[in-house]
Copies of this chain bind each other. A is one copy, B any other.
Amino acid sequence: MMTPAEAAEPKVEPEAEPKDAPSGTFLRDATSTEAICARILERHRDRVSVRKPHLATANLARIIEAVLKLSSRQSFHEISLRDLARVSGLSMGGLYSYFDNKTTLLVMILTEVSETVEAVLRDAPAGLEADPAAHLRWLIETHIRLTEAMQPWFVFAFMEAKGFPAAARAFATESELATERIFADVLARGVAQGVFTIPDIDLTAALIKPLLQDWYVKRAKYRKRGTPIHAYIAGVIAFVERAIAGR
């Protein structure tokens, strides 16, 4: 009936990538743990006491990689700082050069995920707004590929949101709505142009969202079934396009 869980078991098998994958290079460059941690560092420069950026980025990456690894089997609250020190290779005290308390570490990860989604989805290739059907396809594929590239991050943010401090939770909610608005805009433009037929645009945008999220929330299930990412993307696009097809 439910259960996402244990999403990140074996290692990702590098799939033969179609050449025309959207934002291909961007996704690969911008979603490495190192690259993300460099951005986190920039956003939280004041909280991190280590001055050398290269060193700080590398260690923060090791810490966060340890969090994401351990969080596949335990909630964030269950992960002790001793576990974290052991898995990341730093000492207890060393950890506290990178955050002032455990909750800050949680917030660092959440905010980075939110910001990344927004930035990537708003960065559609020029001219795509003119073609709502193509734009929608691009949004669906890009969203799924982004969450694939940052899968442990998204699972973490999805599952741990409840435990965030109120401010961070409000921020996450707003971020969710922002994504939905991006989809609703495209749907509205398609209806205006007569290529889509949609009785309730907001509800439809809301229904597309969980179709995209299922790929990372239930990653283990699709892996077990042997569904490759391009098949999932094609399946979602086909399902959605038929559901909103114009007359």
Interface residues of A (CB under 8 A from B): 1-6, 72-78, 113-114, 116-118, 154, 157-159, 161-164, 169, 172-173, 175-177, 179, 199-200, 202-204, 206-207, 209-211, 213-214, 217-218, 220-222, 225, 227, 231-232, 235-236, 238-240, 242-245
Contacts and interface: CB of A to CB of B under 8 A. Distances in A.
Contacts of A113: 1-2
A203 B235 contact: yes
Given A6-B162, A161-B4, A162-B72, A207 B78 contact: no
A238 B199 contact: yes
A203 B221 contact: no
B154 A1 contact: yes
A3 B210 contact: no
A158 B5 CA distance: 8
Given A163-B75, A211-B211, A245-B242, A172 B236 contact: no
Contacts of A114: 1
Given A243-B239, A243-B242, A4 B210 contact: no
27 contacts: A1-B113, A2-B157, A2-B172, A2-B175, A3-B157, A3-B158, A3-B161, A3-B173, A5-B162, A5-B169, A6-B169, A75-B76, A75-B77, A78-B163, A159-B159, A173-B220, A199-B238, A203-B232, A203-B235, A206-B221, A206-B222, A207-B211, A207-B236, A209-B214, A211-B211, A239-B243, A243-B243
A167 B139 CA distance: 38
A7 to B, nearest CB: 9
A209 B3 CA distance: 12
A73 B154 contact: no
Given A4-B158, A242-B245, 4 more contacts: A1-B116, A3-B161, A75-B76, A203-B227
A234 B68 CA distance: 38
